Chain A
Amino acid sequence: MKISFPHMGYSYIAFKWLVENMGHECIIPPEPSKKTLDLGVRYAPEFACIPFKMLLGTYLEVAEKGAEVILTSGGMGPCRAGLYWVMHQYLLDELNTGIKVVAFEPPLCDLRDFLKKLHWIRKTGGLSLKAFIQVLRITWEKIKAIDEVEMYSHEIRPYEINRGDTTRSLWRALDMLDVANNEMEIKMALQEGIKLLQQIPQDKSRNPLKIGIIGEIYVVLEPAANHYIQIMLGEMGVQTDRSIYLTAYTRKNTIVNLEGDIFSVAKPYLAEAPIGGHGVNSIGETLLYAKHGFDGVVQLAPFACIPEIVAKSILPAISRDHGIPVLTLFIDEQTGKAGVQTRLEAFVDLLEKRRQYKATHKNARLVV
């Protein structure tokens, strides 16, 4: 079968390998572009959020290239994203694309459905159970390696002397991971990639600010949806850490389900009910970033995203109590990055001034 999936950051490299090694043909989803947005906006309901529109656009693009099946994730939270795949299926049927959307719900919610879908994918690809498990294992290693090399790039970018060195080396590292076919090769490629990044001319005398990136999963994970915010901030001399990495996310939400933890962290500020999506995470993660000495937090929220709106109204209280400024960016159809750049530059100015102020007024507690 010709299989495709949502494009989220660099993860497509691992998923491409997975699909091909399960005995299927992979239609690589293109990075979301103006065309993706046009298609999505044209066929999606007007009030749907930007992740819905971009995903629909992506699906229509891969449909053009002949995809027959789309593998995606479901979700059981009270955020409408859990139902997105059903809506996408309706729209794709209406447009006669012939595409079947197969969504994996978290196994802890419906184990039988999860296993049934896995079985179907394996059987149609013609793999033995043993080989299938091996393929999944290697894919997991690959995702982990991709996340690791990307995380490292965000750590060193603020030190780079020539703009773009880090980004170019990261791309080279990802290319090497792309062609790695087993655990050994992945390990080697990762080592090589990290080395490439280490060799970049750096100015270690800098003392970069640290900003945590939180918010809704799609706009956090897909650079094309968030104006490449981590690269932008990195080139302004800021170290970024984002709250969501696929490996961390999958580990937390699907396999071990550690969400309880983030709930208990967020509890002093949101005790009532679990709000959906990543709203609770945004609250809890802001607290964690404050605790770990970050200078600030940027919240990425799709326009009209209820969970993030709820989080946004709670965040000022956290800012006040824990002295961590938060900048919220709502993301919609706008593609011009000048506005985002202005806000980020001002935010970085603010954080730098705070740092200086704190240094000169040792005992002052700057409230927000």
Chain B
Amino acid sequence: MIKGYLGVDVGSVSTNLVVIDEGERLLAEQYLRTNGKPIQTVQEGLYAIGQELPAGVQIAGAGATGSARYLISLIIGADIVKNEITAHAIASSAMTEDVKTIIEIGGQDSKIIILRDGVVIDFAMNTVCAAGTGSFLDQQASRLCIPIEEFGDYALKAKNPVRIAGRCAVFAESDMIHKQQLGYNTEDIIAGLCEALVRNYMNNVGKGKEILAPVMFQGGVAANHGLVQAFNKYLELDVIVPRHHGVMGAIGAAILARETSRKKGGTGFKGFNIKEINFKTSSFECKGCSNACEVVQFYENNELLARWGDRCGKWEINAV
């Protein structure tokens, strides 16, 4: 029997699941669109990864990360719940021992993590602006009728990248349209967009950070060759894109699950066959005081598993 560790990362745009073995080798991975239905997506993904897994692998630990981590941990029976910043840092340091900088760009957020001697010493994450993240690129690709997978390759063909205003996604789009109407070719515009996004990233989350090599570039957006090239040009070094760049958060969660379950000596993992279970949430407004907290109730087959959302804690049961 091989021991496997499950990591689930449920983000705004994608839901990633991985199973790794004791030596951090990837045994299976699933990459799904969250489509606004985290519970259902995880149920489906879990079933699929269970099918994909080689025979004889038994899950000895499970971890959850991503913006829906608390909700998901209840569904899968996670041994550990961790924020995605820490999860990404853990996965990167496991892959490249001496990593000093991590650039991570996902669906709706972008972050920079600075490590020294394997310890996270600083990080930043976009707060009020999502310009330059995956969702925006997605939108521009479909506006130009270019499959998102090929979007970055167009940039590589550019000869003279056009300057695009990258500070705001909305203005970047109008700037792109203006340049298009003036007759600049698509390749140059896309390359210009990539450079604008890098500029915005460096000015926004990267401001004041000491960026030293090795620099890892991960997250779904790292698949975009145009952005990789733009980062290389801006930073004057070669960023490393790990092979499993899209699922690094999930890998981090799996590694953390391995540590925790070893310490705990067991796992709370509920198994892959949770498709039949009916998970349900409902909410109500507490009338206890003027705060009027919106309390969320989580059910598994009509059994109340947890409540959250109340500020005073009086409704809380079984909290994670």
- Cβ-defined partner of A346 (8 Å) among B123, B128, B310: B123
**Roughly how many angstroms separate A33 CA and B85 CA in the complex, as a whole number?**
30
A342→B311 contact, CB < 8 A: no
Interface string of A167-205 (1 = CB under 8 A from B): 110010000000000000000000000000000000000
Q: Is A65 an interface residue (CB 8 A)?
A: no
Binding site secondary structure of chain A: helix
Q: Residue on B with the closest CB to A349?
A: B86
Interface string of B124-140 (1 = CB under 8 A from A): 11011000000000000
In which size bucket is the chain A interface? 35 or more
Which residues of chain B (181-213) have a CB below 8 Å from chain A? 207-209
Q: Give A234 Cβ to nearest chain B Cβ, in Å.
A: 12
Q: Give A175 Cβ to nearest chain B Cβ, in Å.
A: 11
Chain B residues contacting A312 (CB-CB under 8 Å) are: 207
Interface string of B272-302 (1 = CB under 8 A from A): 0000000000000000011110000000000
Which residues of chain A (99-143) have a CB below 8 Å from chain B? none
Chain B residues contacting A353 (CB-CB under 8 Å) are: 119-120
Chain A residues contacting B313 (CB-CB under 8 Å) are: 162-165, 167-168
Chain B residues contacting A332 (CB-CB under 8 Å) are: 128
**Roughly how many angstroms separate A119 CA and B257 CA in the complex, as a whole number?**
67
Q: Is A345 an interface residue (CB 8 A)?
A: yes
A319→B122 contact, CB < 8 A: yes
Number of A-B contacts (CB under 8 A): 93
Q: Residue on A with the closest CB to B84?
A: A342
- Known contacts being A342-B67, A342-B85, is A168 close to B120, with CB within 8 Å? no
Chain B residues contacting A329 (CB-CB under 8 Å) are: 127
Q: Is A23 an interface residue (CB 8 A)?
A: no
Interface string of A328-353 (1 = CB under 8 A from B): 11101010001101110111011001
**Roughly how many angstroms separate A346 CA and B305 CA in the complex, as a whole number?**
26
A167→B311 contact, CB < 8 A: yes
Binding site secondary structure of chain B: loop
**Roughly how many angstroms separate A325 CA and B209 CA in the complex, as a whole number?**
12
Q: Is B121 an interface residue (CB 8 A)?
A: yes
Q: Give B106 Cβ to nearest chain A Cβ, in Å.
A: 12
Chain A residues contacting B290 (CB-CB under 8 Å) are: 30-31
**Roughly how many angstroms separate A167 CA and B314 CA in the complex, as a whole number?**
11
Q: Give B280 Cβ to nearest chain A Cβ, in Å.
A: 20
Q: Total interface residues on B, using CB and 8 Å?
A: 32
Q: Is B1 an interface residue (CB 8 A)?
A: no
Q: Give A366 Cβ to nearest chain B Cβ, in Å.
A: 7
Chain A residues contacting B314 (CB-CB under 8 Å) are: 164, 168
A164→B291 contact, CB < 8 A: no
- Cβ-defined partner of A31 (8 Å) among B85, B125, B291, B310: B291
Which residues of chain B (55-89) have a CB below 8 Å from chain A? 67, 82-86
**Roughly how many angstroms separate A367 CA and B109 CA in the complex, as a whole number?**
27
A313→B121 contact, CB < 8 A: no
**Roughly how many angstroms separate A105 CA and B122 CA in the complex, as a whole number?**
40
Interface string of A307-321 (1 = CB under 8 A from B): 000001101110100
**Roughly how many angstroms separate A350 CA and B86 CA in the complex, as a whole number?**
8
Chain A residues contacting B127 (CB-CB under 8 Å) are: 303, 328-330, 339, 343
Chain B residues contacting A342 (CB-CB under 8 Å) are: 67, 83-85, 125
B121→A343 contact, CB < 8 A: no
- Known contacts being A163-B319, A330-B127, A334-B128, is A350 close to B122, with CB within 8 Å? yes
A349→B119 contact, CB < 8 A: no
**Roughly how many angstroms separate A345 CA and B120 CA in the complex, as a whole number?**
13
Q: Give B74 Cβ to nearest chain A Cβ, in Å.
A: 15
Q: Is A258 an interface residue (CB 8 A)?
A: no
A349→B83 contact, CB < 8 A: yes
B122→A325 contact, CB < 8 A: yes
Q: Give A71 Cβ to nearest chain B Cβ, in Å.
A: 22
Q: Is B145 an interface residue (CB 8 A)?
A: no
B128→A325 contact, CB < 8 A: no
Chain B residues contacting A30 (CB-CB under 8 Å) are: 290
Q: Residue on A with the closest CB to B209?
A: A316
Q: Is A357 an interface residue (CB 8 A)?
A: yes
Chain B residues contacting A287 (CB-CB under 8 Å) are: none
- Cβ-defined partner of A313 (8 Å) among B109, B207, B292, B316: B207
Q: Residue on A with the closest CB to B90?
A: A349
Between A and B, 21 residue pairs with Cβ closer than 8 Å are A303-B128, A312-B207, A313-B208, A325-B122, A330-B127, A330-B128, A342-B67, A342-B125, A343-B125, A343-B127, A345-B82, A346-B85, A346-B125, A349-B83, A350-B121, A350-B122, A350-B123, A366-B119, A367-B121, A368-B121, A368-B122
| Residues in B lying within 8 Å of A, measured CB to CB | 67, 82-86, 109, 116-117, 119-125, 127-128, 207-209, 289-292, 310-314, 316, 319
Known pairs A313-B208, A346-B125, A350-B122; list 15 more (Cβ under 8 Å): A31-B290, A163-B313, A163-B316, A167-B311, A171-B289, A325-B121, A330-B127, A334-B128, A342-B67, A343-B127, A345-B82, A347-B123, A353-B120, A354-B119, A357-B119
Across the A-B interface, the 6 shortest Cβ-Cβ residue pairs: A164-B313, A346-B85, A316-B208, A345-B83, A330-B127, A163-B313
